[in-house]
């Protein structure tokens, strides 16, 4: 756990699970903000009332509602819960929501001179500024904001580290410029541009960008038990929880899931198909093929670089293959993908194969809510453990390694000319264009939206 925002998010989830199990959620929901911020107690923002308002919106998102769609400010959380209980499936709508009340409306990014400035004789700041925006006023350097082009040269050359950059963390983190300020100066996501990588969610120090959770939907499904509910665990789970993966599976089974499966089994199929597709495409004269398992990356291509889409592999993701395996055995099964990813929630909305997506945070909260200790569980007997290469999909380079190993089965001396984009950022679109130009000798490109791969996903518990 890295910060107070995460603590609050997880604490609320655990409270929600406990109240759900006690059957008191509806009565308790509207009390939670007051209970957590009682009068005369401490507040994290200007006052307890502001804190309570933000907590209410957090709970709203936890119940699966978007703050932007709020019509009646006076509507109780209990009434939202009633609506959520009636929900049969998840609406095809963006899975992120911004809590305006929580957004601090950070001032626009700029370069500023701090009191570290010694008004030195050399004055590299004034000499290196390409637009003459830096001048000396008295014995201190000064930046004319109307001229500044935010190149950062002055900051780099100052020997006293006297120039700092203030930033808007969400805007800075967004690789595609999908965040802008609304007329009240609060952050707003442009969902036409958003690729759901979750970088803004992870970056906001006020935790104002939230996910619309499906935790209540899954809890309801597990309680109703109308059909078989199967948990599909992403390969990134192996380093996330205390205890072994086999113990984690037993713990998940105890939550009421009828079966637990490794998504790595789906990854094995992705590898085999992707290797074959690669051979076919190269034989047909295509120069480059990229991976397709990272949904945020695929979204990025479709929304921002449609011409590049022809290079993206058409092989379905491990999640889809895993869900297919489940449905082959039990066609009516309710499938719940559990992973560290926000973009997967979007992918699941547009396939019938996956019904719900939970994050590791939500899974942890359900286990914590029910006081299920992973370390003390018996080991689950995996009938067909996935191979190590498939389990390694969650690490950057994992997909390439698996595909290469598959290709080498037939041709032991096969050489893959591969490159990696390990974590997408504002430069990624440029990089992709460069790869498309054919100037870089590469035929296999692996792209992971998160630095280091899925193990560092926005909703992972342990960041590496």
Partner 1 sequence: MKKITLEICCGTTCYMLGTQKLLQIENIMPEEWKNCVAVSAIPCLNNCTSENICGAPFVRINGEIMSHASVESIFNRIRELLPGEGEE
Interaction of residue 378 with partner 1, rule CB under 8 A: no
CB of 36 to partner 1, least distance (A): 8
Count of chain residues binding partner 1 (CB under 8 A): 26
- Residues 35-54 close enough to bind partner 1 by CB under 8 A: 36
Q: Whose Cβ is closer to partner 1: residue 111's or residue 241's?
A: 241
Interaction of residue 10 with partner 1, rule CB under 8 A: yes
- Residues 320-349 close enough to bind partner 1 by CB under 8 A: none
Give residue 427's region: left, alpha or beta (phi > 0; psi -120 to 50): alpha
CB of 301 to partner 1, least distance (A): 35
Binding mask 239-258 for partner 1 (x = CB under 8 A): --xx--------x-------
Instruction: Please pick, from the candidates 367, 386, 450, 454, the single residue that binds partner 1 as defined by CB under 8 A.
Output: 367
Instruction: Please pick, from the candidates 365, 394, 403, 448, the single residue that binds partner 1 as defined by CB under 8 A.
Output: 365
Q: Whose Cβ is closer to partner 1: residue 62's or residue 103's?
A: 62
Interaction of residue 202 with partner 1, rule CB under 8 A: no
Interaction of residue 231 with partner 1, rule CB under 8 A: no
Task: Give yes or no for a contact between 1 and 7, defined as CB atoms under 8 angstroms apart.
Answer: yes
Q: Which stretch binds partner 1 (CB under 8 A): 5-13, 96-104, 130-138, 414-422?
A: 5-13
Interaction of residue 368 with partner 1, rule CB under 8 A: yes
Q: Whose Cβ is closer to partner 1: residue 10's or residue 181's?
A: 10
Q: Whose Cβ is closer to partner 1: residue 268's or residue 361's?
A: 361
Q: Whose Cβ is closer to partner 1: residue 42's or residue 146's?
A: 42
Q: Whose Cβ is closer to partner 1: residue 163's or residue 219's?
A: 219
CB of 175 to partner 1, least distance (A): 28
Nearest residue to 297 via CA among 449, 453, 176, 436: 449
Q: Whose Cβ is closer to partner 1: residue 222's or residue 305's?
A: 222
Q: What residues have CB less than 8 Å from 194, skipping those under 6 apart? A: 94, 96, 176, 178, 299
Instruction: Please pick, from the candidates 31, 132, 182, 376, the single residue that binds partner 1 as defined by CB under 8 A.
Output: 376
Interaction of residue 364 with partner 1, rule CB under 8 A: yes
Phi and psi torsions of 181, nearest 5°: -95, 140
CB of 44 to partner 1, least distance (A): 13
CA angle at 108 for the pair 107 and 109, rounded to the nearest 5°: 115
The owner of tokens 């094995």 is 268
CB of 26 to partner 1, least distance (A): 16
CB of 368 to partner 1, least distance (A): 4
Interaction of residue 374 with partner 1, rule CB under 8 A: yes
Nearest residue to 337 via CA among 230, 446, 225: 230
Q: Which stretch binds partner 1 (CB under 8 A): 45-53, 314-322, 362-370, 382-390?
A: 362-370
Interaction of residue 27 with partner 1, rule CB under 8 A: no
Instruction: Please pick, from the candidates 88, 184, 328, 371, the single residue that binds partner 1 as defined by CB under 8 A.
Output: 371
Q: Which residues bind partner 1 (CB under 8 A)?
A: 1-2, 7, 10-11, 14-15, 18, 22, 36, 241-242, 251, 361, 364-365, 367-368, 371-376, 461-462
């Amino acid at each position: 756990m890295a910060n107070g925002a995460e603590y609050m998010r997880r604490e609320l989830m655990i409270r929600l699970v406990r109240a759900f199990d006690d059957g008191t959620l509806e009565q308790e929901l509207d009390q939670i903000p007051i209970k957590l911020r009682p009068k005369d107690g401490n507040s994290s923002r200007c006052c307890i009332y502001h804190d309570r308002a933000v907590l209410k919106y957090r709970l709203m998102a936890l119940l699966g509602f978007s703050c932007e769609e709020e019509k009646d400010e006076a509507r109780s959380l209990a009434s939202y819960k009633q609506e959520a209980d009636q929900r049969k499936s998840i609406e095809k709508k963006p899975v992120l929501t911004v809590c305006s009340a929580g957004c601090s409306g950070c001032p626009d990014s700029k370069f500023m001179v701090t009191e570290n400035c010694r008004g030195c004789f050399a004055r590299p700041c004034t000499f290196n500024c390409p637009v003459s925006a830096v001048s000396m006023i008295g014995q201190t350097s000064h930046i004319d904001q109307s001229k500044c082009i935010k190149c950062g040269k002055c900051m780099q050359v100052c020997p006293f580290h006297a120039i700092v950059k203030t930033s808007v963390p969400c805007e800075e983190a967004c690789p595609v410029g999908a965040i802008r300020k609304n007329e009240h100066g609060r952050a707003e996501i442009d969902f036409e541009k958003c690729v759901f990588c979750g970088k803004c969610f992870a970056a906001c120090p006020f935790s104002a960008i939230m996910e619309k959770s499906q935790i209540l939907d899954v809890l309801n499904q597990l309680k109703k038990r109308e059909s078989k509910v199967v948990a599909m665990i992403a390969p990134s789970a192996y380093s996330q929880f205390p205890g072994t993966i086999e113990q984690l599976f037993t713990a998940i089974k105890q939550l009421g899931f009828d079966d637990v499966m490794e998504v790595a089994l789906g990854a094995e199929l992705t590898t085999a198909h992707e290797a074959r597709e690669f051979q076919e495409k190269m034989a047909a004269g295509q120069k480059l093929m990229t991976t397709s398992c990272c949904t945020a990356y695929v979204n990025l291509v479709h929304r921002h670089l449609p011409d590049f889409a022809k290079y993206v592999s058409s092989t379905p993701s491990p999640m889809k293959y895993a869900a297919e395996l489940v449905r082959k055995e039990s066609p009516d099964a309710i499938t719940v993908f559990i992973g560290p990813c926000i973009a997967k929630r979007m992918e699941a909305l547009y396939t019938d194969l996956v019904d719900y997506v939970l994050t590791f945070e939500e899974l942890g909260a359900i286990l914590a809510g029910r006081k299920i200790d992973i370390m003390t569980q018996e080991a689950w007997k995996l009938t067909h453990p996935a191979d190590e290469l498939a389990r390694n999909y969650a690490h950057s380079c994992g997909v390439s390694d698996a595909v290469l190993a598959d290709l080498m089965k037939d041709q032991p001396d096969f050489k893959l000319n591969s490159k990696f984009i390990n974590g997408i950022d504002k430069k990624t679109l440029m990089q992709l264009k460069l790869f498309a130009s054919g100037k870089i000798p590469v035929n296999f490109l692996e792209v992971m939206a998160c630095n280091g791969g899925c193990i560092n996903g926005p909703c992972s518990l342990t960041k590496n």
